[in-house]
Amino acid sequence: MKEEKWFGINRKTIDWFPTIDYDICNGCMICLECNHDVFGKEDDKPVVCNKDNCIVGCTACAIVCSEGAIKLPPKEYLRRIARHRNSSCSCC
């Protein structure tokens, strides 16, 4: 099921989704095993077609990709968002 919010934050405002380095992707398609319908297939290569379906904080596809071709943002990105949400500071 698609997340609408992540800890109260609108999912659409969070840039959490995989990116693929096609220079090193070998086309094994194991990443398509993600059952959140994030990946599709085009010309024998995986493509990220539903980026907002990606579960915020998940890194499973990057872990199982044997070539290291999948990248996700660093966890620090999420910590920053969470800190900003919890902050009462209005200057940033």
- Which one of 2-10, 58-66, 74-82, 83-91 is the stretch in contact with ligand SF4 (CB under 6 A)? 58-66
E strands of the chain, at which residues?
A: 5-6, 9-10, 19-20, 39-42, 45-48, 70-71
Q: Is residue 49 a contact residue for ligand SF4 (CB under 6 A)? A: no
CA R_g for the chain? 15
Q: Are 38 and 48 in contact (CB under 8 A)?
A: yes
From candidates 25, 47, 78, 82, binder to ligand SF4 by CB under 6 A: 25
Q: How far is the CB of 91 from ligand SF4 (least distance, A)?
A: 33
Q: How far is the CB of 53 from ligand SF4 (least distance, A)?
A: 7
- Which one of 1-9, 52-60, 73-81, 82-90 is the stretch in contact with ligand SF4 (CB under 6 A)? 52-60
**In the complex with ligand SF4, which residue's Cβ is closer, 14 or 34?**
34
| Residue type at position 20 | I
Specify which residues 46 forms β-bridges with.
41
